[in-house]
Structure 1
Amino acid sequence: MIEESGAPDPGDTATAGEYVLGTLPHAERQRFRARLAREPQLQAEVERWEAHFDPLSEAFEPVTPPAGVWSRIDRRLFSASASTVRAGVDRLWRWLGLGASLAAVMLAGVLWLGPAHEPEAPSLWVSDMVSADGAVRLAALYDEKSGEMRVSVGGAEPADGRDFELWLIQGDLAPISLGVMPHQGQAAMPIPDELRELVANATLAITDEPAGGTPTGVATGPVVAAAPLRRI
């Protein structure tokens, strides 16, 4: 809700941005629209997002990932014998080089989520993951101050009996599972204290796993998408 002081609640700031971008689930969008009719300050927050959206999205240019990123992700997540998934990772590399602009709209919104009134102390990290064919989309926003990661999942869902699992890859450490992702919509994921220092400059990856996640603690399915976390 909007605080009595007049400053927007951080949760409303994020939701207003997602409303403008059209990424809210239908039921949540309907509830938010009903609030707009009776909360002028919330309307002003939506108008602020609308004013910022167009110039921000135009500022993005496609970026080619550094050489070797995806091959390193492949090696870290899977054993050397898992060559069958390598082709999928290569397709992701080519897609990111040629079509990174397809994710620009989602990234533009995510870049503005969270408290916009503390620019002097940035504490947010963002990763936007899109599958090679563009069918699966996952955006992650991590707040260093709260230790919470918020994910938004869209596009195609995993097959019956399967789940998407999110992994944190940092340096030479073994990939760490952050949990199974919702099939659609949003989820808030508190990051354990012992992992928070590993988030900065890490890479996030999604794999296709059995329902409930990998039974072994090690990725077993193919890499669906991956992207580095960037400070904003």
Structure 2
Amino acid sequence: MTDDAPEPDPRDIATAGEYVLGTLPLAEREAFQRRLLNEPALVAEVARWETHFDPIADEVRPVSPPAKVWNNLERRLFPERTAPAGSVRFWQWLSLGSVCASIALLALLWLGQPGPETERNLWVSDMVSADSTVRLTALYDETDGEMRISVAGQPPAQGRDFELWLIQGDRAPISLGVMPHQGQAAMPIPEDLRILVANATLAITDEPAGGAPGGVATGPIVAQAEMRRI
């Protein structure tokens, strides 16, 4: 590569990070691996992410939750499941690890690796559709009142958009805006809404292009998840 080599596509940078973390769906991972055979710039980007994550991996220490935590989750989420407990726990750990890795990637993409004196009040919501074709991760920073989002998976149908909503208690859902079909975006949260973000629920609905008419949701809920402090 020369000094005049073009900058990598931001989407490829993010995809390379997800590839290194192992959070890409199988079909996307296989497609990315095929590209690695013919695109040296992608290989270099993967190597850069591996170098970036190496120090973080060294600091990770496994922590086993109390047995009652998984027992309660199993009863609530899989009441009729007959698979052996060990098998259930394996897939739960795998799913949880994927979610945490996505959150870590989003935080690094937007905030960079924090220094020892960095202190931020962060909230995260990881929304996945029932068929796992749509995923939206939102990271909210109380320090600056900005929400960063990462959208992946199948885009909405032609003439439709995904819209993000803030749901707090018995209040009517509040639109936070129309989402990009893919990639990352930053959304400043109005000051009068910032107090509502903590412990709220975020939801995505499928709306007409441009968003719900009159600011009232009309389409089905694609995915939703609570905000959690990290």
Q: TM-score, normalised by structure 2?
A: 0.62
Matches within 5 A, 1:1-232: 19-22=16-19, 47-53=51-57, 64=73, 100-101=95-96, 103-110=99-106, 114=111, 116-117=114-115, 121-232=119-230
Contact conserved, 2:120 with 2:143, CA < 8 A, in 1? no
Mark the CA change 1:52 to 1:173 in structure 2 (over 3 Å): closer, same or farther. same
Matched residues in 2 for 1:229 and 1:163: separation?
Answer: 22
Mark the CA change 1:182 to 1:59 in structure 2 (over 3 Å): closer, same or farther. farther
Mark the CA change 1:161 to 1:57 in structure 2 (over 3 Å): closer, same or farther. farther
Q: Which amino acid aligns with 1:156?
A: Q
Structure showing greater radius of gyration is 2
State the Cα distance separating 1:107 from its structure 2 match.
Answer: 3.1
Q: Secondary structure at the match of 2:158?
A: coil
Mark the CA change 1:50 to 1:187 in structure 2 (over 3 Å): closer, same or farther. same
Runs of 4+ in 1 over 6 A off after TM superposition: 15-18, 32-36, 57-63
Matched residues in 2 for 1:223 and 1:196: separation?
Answer: 23
Which 5+ residue runs of structure 2 have no aligned equivalent?
1-11, 25-31, 33-38, 77-91
Aligned counterpart, 2:86? none
Contact conserved, 1:103 with 1:130, CA < 8 A, in 2? no
State the Cα distance separating 1:139 from its structure 2 match.
Answer: 0.7
Q: Which amino acid aligns with 1:110?
A: L
Q: Secondary structure at the match of 1:49?
A: helix
Count of aligned positions: 178
Mark the CA change 1:206 to 1:58 in structure 2 (over 3 Å): closer, same or farther. farther
Encode CA deviations 1:61-117: one digit per residue, 9 max, x unaligned.
8894997xxxxxxxxxxxxxxxxxxxxxxxxxxxxx898445343234335562512
State the Cα distance separating 1:52 from its structure 2 match.
Answer: 2.5
For CA contacts below 8 A with separation 6 or more, give which structure has more relative contact order: 1
Which 5+ residue runs of structure 1 have no aligned equivalent?
1-14, 37-42, 68-96
State the Cα distance separating 1:135 from its structure 2 match.
Answer: 0.3
- Equivalent pairs: percent with the same residue? 53
Contact conserved, 1:148 with 1:190, CA < 8 A, in 2? yes
Contact conserved, 2:106 with 2:150, CA < 8 A, in 1? no
Contact conserved, 1:57 with 1:108, CA < 8 A, in 2? no
Kindly report the root-mean-square deviation, in angstroms, between the aligned alpha carbons of the 2 structures: 4.0
Q: TM-score, normalised by structure 1?
A: 0.62
State the Cα distance separating 1:197 from its structure 2 match.
Answer: 1.1
Contact conserved, 2:168 with 2:201, CA < 8 A, in 1? yes
